[in-house]
Amino acid sequence: MAEQQQGTGIRVEALAPEFQAQAVAWAERLGLPLVDEAAEFAVQVGGEGLQIQQLGPQAPGPVRVDFVEGQAAHRRLYGGGNGQMIAKAVGIAQGVRPQVLDATAGLGKDAFVLASLGCQMTLIERQPLIAALLEDGLARAHGDAEVGAIVARMRLLTGNAIERMRAWEGEAPQVIYLDPMFPHRDKSALVKKEMRVFRPLVGDDLDAPALLEAALALASHRVVVKRPRKAPIIEGPKPSHSLEGKSSRYDIYPKKALKG
């Protein structure tokens, strides 16, 4: 079994001896080797939690989920609150905080923004490594005095979002939010560190039409799709309208009005 896993191109490593037991546990859970000299990526366990590091001379820095400091903290404090375009897109208004399913969670940035504005969030992430980063980031944030209450509104599910939505049990989410990985046309999409790491691991969401179809069948009130500003709409029903920003837009597919 170990021989088959050598070809994954990803190994798990501890950044210090005291994290070796955690590294072994993650390696077993993710089905990855602890030793692979030819690996292109390393899942690293250290004092700042779990991270993915691309290996090689031109590699960018590590990617991890941090809801407490850095970009997430700045956006939480200075991002514009309910005036943000994403807030308007999902229907946040006076007395209205919809229950939202983010079916393409990624590193959870958009879900965290919506949770910080008061929405109950369910997240689905299908790529096991990204889901592991997200789980680790949520676990660390739970212990923070300010952020703990926000991440308490975030519930993480793993697996294929299309299958999860088709087999959904219980109350349907009011709003489903989709941000499919968009096929890149040029190298500008690779500039961001996360993109350089994600593309080889995740690839493009070529099943976006099926994702939209499943979301439209499940959501009780609306579906919101985030797209690059000039990208075509996802194949399928047309959105009723869009909110457009500098680099991205939100295509909105309403089913019924959200009320407080």
Write down the pLDDT at residue 184.
55
Q: What is the pLDDT of residues 26-47, one digit of tens each?
A: 999 999 999 999 999 999 999 9
Write out the DSSP string of 122-163. EEEE-SHHHHHHHHHHHHHHHTSTTTHHHHTTEEEEES-HHH
Q: Any known ligand binding at 126?
A: yes
C-alpha span between 213 and 223 (Å, rounded): 10
Q: What is the pLDDT of residues 195-236, one digit of tens each?
A: 667 667 766 666 899 999 999 999 999 999 999 999 999 999
Q: Any known ligand binding at 196?
A: no
Residue 165, classed as helix, strand or coil, is: helix
Write down the pLDDT at residue 73.
76
- The percentage of the chain sitting over the pLDDT mark of 90, rounded to a whole number, equals 72
Dig out the tokens for 167 from the structure. 């087999």
Write down the pLDDT at residue 146.
87
- pTM as predicted: 0.90
Q: Which of 61, 240, 68 is nearest to 146 (CA)?
A: 68
Give the CA distances from residue 118 to residues 82, 90, 109, 114, 192, in Å, rounded to whole numbers and listed in that order: 10, 12, 15, 7, 29
Dig out the tokens for 223 from the structure. 């579906």
C-alpha span between 111 and 81 (Å, rounded): 14
Give the CA distances from residue 211 to residues 14, 65, 104, 109, in Å, rounded to whole numbers and listed in that order: 36, 25, 9, 20
Q: Any known ligand binding at 125?
A: yes
Dig out the tokens for 76 from the structure. 């939480």
pLDDT interval class at 190 (50, 70, 90): very low
C-alpha span between 258 and 96 (Å, rounded): 7
Q: Which of 96, 44, 89, 51 is nearest to 70 (CA)?
A: 51
Query: Using CA of residue 168, residue 158, residue 60, residue 86, what is the dihedral sign?
Result: positive
What's the whole-number average pLDDT of the chain? 88
Q: What is the pLDDT of residues 55-101, one digit of tens each?
A: 988 888 899 999 998 787 777 776 677 889 999 999 999 999 999 99
